[in-house]
Amino acid sequence: MAVTGWLESLRAAEKTALLQDGRRKVHYLFPDGKEMAEEYDEKTSELLVRKWRVKSALGALSQWQLEVGEPAPPGAGSLGPELIKESNANPIFMRKDTKTSFQWRIRNLPYPKDVYSVCVAQKERCIVIRTTNKKYYKKFSIPDLDRYQLPLDDSLLSFAHANCTLIISYQKPKEIMVAESELQKELKKVKTAHGSDGDCKTQ
């Protein structure tokens, strides 16, 4: 029932779409004023970016909060080259999904794979990363499972390590796969403007 509820919220949202630079960009406006923006690969329909913003009690829009996609370099454009270089040595956390898995990448983690422990914390509904050398700790939720009110399953979780990058994968439950397929059908109904056609309108 919860899966259907979130899907219906997406269907009911006011949507506009734009095709630009090989990406299908979709903007959702929900009745409560919350906004979501997604970008999909035009050819594969793979989700590349998802971000959110909300209105304050006074009606001011917040900054976009990135959920999926690569974040901008910390402080880019406001720091000197030396400071940017130093910040790039810190672990960089990002989410980049595949068709069948939610996936997170943490760059700049040079320790061997046997140092890491990755597990599900059921009570907190999140994934926890620890290292035996106590050099890195992080916990994060999977907003998709929260929106669809699905449980976290330890057996769907796996991780790998290569090139100083820890890659954590969580296999998408079948309910999510079905819902994402239904959403793609819904998005095909949305009129799409093209980035090069300034006079195109969407509804």
pLDDT tens for each residue of 15-66: 999 999 999 999 999 998 899 999 999 999 999 999 999 987 777 888 999 9
pLDDT at 34: 92
Alpha-carbon gap, residue 70 to 73, rounded angstroms:
9
Q: pTM for the whole thing?
A: 0.83
pLDDT tens for each residue of 145-177: 999 999 999 999 999 999 999 999 999 999 999
Alpha-carbon gap, residue 46 to 24, rounded angstroms:
10
Q: Tokens for 178? A: 């079905």
pLDDT tens for each residue of 81-138: 544 454 568 999 999 999 999 999 999 999 999 999 999 999 999 999 999 999 999 9
pLDDT at 196: 58
pLDDT at 2: 62
Contact assessment for residue 103 and residue 96, using Cβ atoms and an 8 Å cutoff: yes
Query: Per-residue DSSP letters for 172-189?
Result: PPHHHHHHHHHHHHHHTT
